[in-house]
Structure 1
Amino acid sequence: METVTPNLMEAYAGEQKQNIAVAGPPKELDAGALFVLKSQGSWLHVGYHLTTSIVAPVLLSLPFAMALLGWVGGVICVALSGLVTFYSYNLMSIVLEHQEKLGHRQLRFRDMARDILGPAWGKYFVGPLQFWICYGAVIACTLLGGQSLKFIYLLSDPDGTMKLYHFIIMFGGVTLFLAQMPSFHSLRHINLVSLILCLAYSSCVTAGCIYIGHTNNAPRKDYSLKGSTKDHYFGIFNGISIISTTYASGIIPEIQATLAPPVKGKMLKGLCVCYSVIVTTYFSVAISGYWSFGNQAMVTVLSNFMGVEKPLLPTWFLVMTNVFTLMQLVAVTVVYLQPTNEVFEKKFADPKMDQFSIRNIVPRLILRSLTVVVATIFAAMSVILLVGVGAVASVRQIVLDAKTYRLFANM
């Protein structure tokens, strides 16, 4: 035994050295990793980034998801989704930490895919998929930001004539300014404010739901599942998908890349910060919203606050809640721009020159501005397309009703 144990230890040490030798020396960073994914952050900064990437106004749909699942199913699904995603994100961070120990730090999702699935999968499938998911989130946030701005406008001027696309353009203008932040790490203060804002509007929504639930204007509380058995099954799948979406983040490796080495244990601390906010906000909004409105909960609980004939809460309270939501949407939009920024920076910037040299600033300014402008155009176009779909649906309904109403009966 005295000779076996040292031999085993020597063999293990030799294997570790061999693994490091296989990994090779660290490669020279490209401009995307060097400038956008700058590794200077602490675990607290990672907590801010994670919270902004996961906790967003989509959590205001949780009461609606609860209405599709019921009390038991809804609470279990919210809790189970939290446990599963926390475990999976932590497991991913451990894999990334292990690769760093071997001298091969993976900074992006496509880097992981390249080493796990192969170069072709990383370049042609995982990379483009992540790019379009994150860019789709930017477009969706721009649309939601415009809707939130319009809601605030209509609360202050119910007879206002401004259109939704006007507010989408305004939101895009704010995003255009913040998109010029040079790196993911430089967003740490914005994301701290974002964390505070999501706590603020979640507290407002929870307080509003509790207030409405105790007033005479409260809707009749009915916690039964609406519709037929078939509707129940579809509702279950819909509710699960909504809850799963609220926990989603497509930029975990990019967030971990902002950590200053060594990264061991830092990501777990950041996840604990993030999930402490998640537990506080998700359960309070989901339970209070469902308790107050039951199966009448709408897709976003803010719609329930408007009531049938008049708002159920004071106008100033509704404006304040929407301002908090709007401001956090800006931070979420800028965070999900980072993978796009990284791709363009890698392609068009020169890593051998200073990040703030004219050679790198000019293409960065043009490409990031173009990215935001295109996202804003797509968000505004979606409104026009929805109007077009509504017009087609109206014509279709006229055709279907023609046999009933006899359009030419008097001829």
Structure 2
Amino acid sequence: MGTEAPNSGAVVVNKDSTNQTAPPAKLDAGDLFVLKSRGSWLHCGYHLTTSIVAPALLSLPFALGLLGWGGGVVCLSLSALVTFYSYNLLSLVLEDHARRGTRQLHFRAMANDILGPGWGKYFVGPLQLGICYGCVISCILIGGQSLKYIYLVARPNGSMQLSHFVVIFGGVSLIMAQMPSFHSLRHINLVSLLLCLAYCACTTAGSIYIGKSSDAPPKNYNISEVGINRLFNIFNAISIIATTYGNGIIPEIQATMAPPIQGKMFKGLLVCYSVVITTYFSVGISGYWAFGNQVMPTVLSNFTDNGKYLLPKWFLVITNIFVLVQVSAVSLTYLQPTNVVLERRFADPKKDEFSTRNLVPRLIFRSLSIVIATTVAAMLPFFGDIMALLGALGFIPLDMVMPMLFYNVTFKPSKRSLVFWGNTIIAVVATVLAVVGSVASVRQIIIDAKNYRLFANV
């Protein structure tokens, strides 16, 4: 039997007399209770899809509008190829460590073991927690906005404010946050996969319908901005597309799979990216085709024109219901790294998972994390601008830089090999994009700052 260094996140296992990997003797409470290794590669595919294919993809037509047809489709395609490659590299590194007897369960442990002490604690860990918790806040805000939209379709002159709906959605999230482990979300994330296909199909069909109708706006695909504004728009668009493909929790998802894990993540990625390609390209291309450079930051906003609905109300309500339900699953998925930290700090791994000693702290601190996220979402309805900055600073480094470094350090490919230089070039270009995307995001925050107001009803 193996042992684990306390709080390391790296499970050290040995081989028993039958040459089978024996289960670890001890895990910290976060790994033991949240990251249960019981899932299949199919469950992994559900988790991956929910963590990547989220309502943020509805901004892809807007990104294409900033880049134009050629640049937009090329950037969309390259991002798909690079992130699939990157996630597969990360999986290969995790499999190699598991094969050698040390199974890494999260990003923090990978960084510490591969790059050295301090990397996980002071860089990768805080970065991952920040973007994941930021995603939770964003999901609660999107859920509130979807609820408000449905409400206004039913009652156009209704008096309820956005903050009210954010609190309602936050209350639902508070209940769902008590799901005990990442693995327990597998059926929820299967439903999430189906829902993202559903609202993307509705969005694509709605865009095509409007684009062919008499109410269709004039189709103008010219890029209106020039000079420095156009340059910043290009980097904004690249940042939007890159962060839309963001994940940031590949190790935690792979940790949910039952051993042996070899080859399973690749199958899960195939499931995920079949959905990614279907949804991203259909929504991005149809939305930009229908509305041209008049497309809004979320394409669903183009389905109304000065208060006039361009599609049947029931169709708009159903589409937003699909978004509403799916985003609740996305928020639960991105809450898991926070849950790991909370369980590690406040739970006792020597007690039963559902004992009073562990159940009460879990209920209190998970509820508190949702209350804080809901409060921030209600206070800062412009959080999307802030999340764009967090995405540039977080998703791009975690998804396009760190996997390349991990692979090169772990497998040490020849410096003359295509793999080494391909990884190095991707890491360097991604770093530049992260820096420039951050500058562009800060610029956008400054431009929009005049419209910022706490608890605004937007």
User: Does TM, scored on the shorter chain, surpass 0.5?
Assistant: yes
In structure 1, what is the equivalent of residue 7 of structure 2? none
Residues 147-174 of structure 1, C-alpha deviations (whole Å, 9 max, x = no match): 1110111111000000111000000011
In structure 2, what is the equivalent of residue 52 of structure 1? 50
3-state SS of paired residue (1:105): strand
Separation (CA, whole Å) in 2 of partners of 1:156 and 1:114: 53
In structure 2, what is the equivalent of residue 321 of structure 1? 319
1:78 to 76, 82, 105: 76
Separation (CA, whole Å) in 2 of partners of 1:66 and 1:392: 25
The CA deviation at 1:383 is: 3.8
In structure 2, what is the equivalent of residue 347 of structure 1? 345
1:172 to 170, 173, 198: 170
1:121-136 to 2 correspondence within 5 Å?
121-136=119-134
Separation (CA, whole Å) in 1 of partners of 2:68 and 2:448: 36
3-state SS of paired residue (2:309): coil
Stretches of structure 1 that go unaligned for 5 or more consecutive residues are: 1-16, 18-24, 395-411
More displaced, 33-42 or 346-355? 346-355
In structure 2, what is the equivalent of residue 330 of structure 1? 328
In structure 2, what is the equivalent of residue 364 of structure 1? 362
For the 8 Å contact 1:53–1:249, the answer to whether it is kept is yes
- Which structure has the larger Rg? 1
Residues 373-403 of structure 1, C-alpha deviations (whole Å, 9 max, x = no match): 11111111114999xx999948xxxxxxxxx
In structure 1, what is the equivalent of residue 436 of structure 2? none
Separation (CA, whole Å) in 1 of partners of 2:151 and 2:24: 53
Quickly say closer, same or farther: Cα 1:152–1:28, change in 2 above 3 A: same
1:149-298 to 2 correspondence within 5 Å?
149-298=147-296
If asked which structure has higher relative contact order (CA below 8 Å, sep 6+), I would say 1
3-state SS of paired residue (1:263): coil
Residues 61-110 of structure 1, C-alpha deviations (whole Å, 9 max, x = no match): 01000001111111110010000000000000000000000110000100
1:66-105 to 2 correspondence within 5 Å?
66-105=64-103
Separation (CA, whole Å) in 2 of partners of 1:329 and 1:385: 16
3-state SS of paired residue (1:219): coil
3-state SS of paired residue (2:304): coil
The CA deviation at 1:141 is: 0.9
For the 8 Å contact 2:377–2:383, the answer to whether it is kept is no
Amino acid at match of 2:118: A
More displaced, 131-140 or 113-122? 113-122
Amino acid at match of 2:174: L
Quickly say closer, same or farther: Cα 1:245–1:390, change in 2 above 3 A: closer
Report % sequence identity.
67
Q: Normalized against structure 2, the TM-score is what?
A: 0.78
The CA deviation at 1:60 is: 0.4
1:304 to 296, 302, 314: 302
Quickly say closer, same or farther: Cα 1:256–1:58, change in 2 above 3 A: same
Amino acid at match of 1:171: F
Stretches of structure 2 that go unaligned for 5 or more consecutive residues are: 1-14, 16-22, 385-445, 452-458
Residues 162-214 of structure 1, C-alpha deviations (whole Å, 9 max, x = no match): 01110000000110111000000000000000000000000000000110111
Separation (CA, whole Å) in 1 of partners of 2:274 and 2:139: 24
Aligned residue pair count? 370
Residues 38-65 of structure 1, C-alpha deviations (whole Å, 9 max, x = no match): 0000000000000000000000001000
Quickly say closer, same or farther: Cα 1:104–1:384, change in 2 above 3 A: closer
Separation (CA, whole Å) in 1 of partners of 2:307 and 2:143: 25
Separation (CA, whole Å) in 2 of partners of 1:166 and 1:70: 38
3-state SS of paired residue (2:219): coil
3-state SS of paired residue (2:118): helix
Residues 128-152 of structure 1, C-alpha deviations (whole Å, 9 max, x = no match): 1111111111111111111111011
3-state SS of paired residue (1:337): helix
Q: Does 1:30 align with 2:31?
A: no
The CA deviation at 1:328 is: 0.6
Amino acid at match of 1:267: M
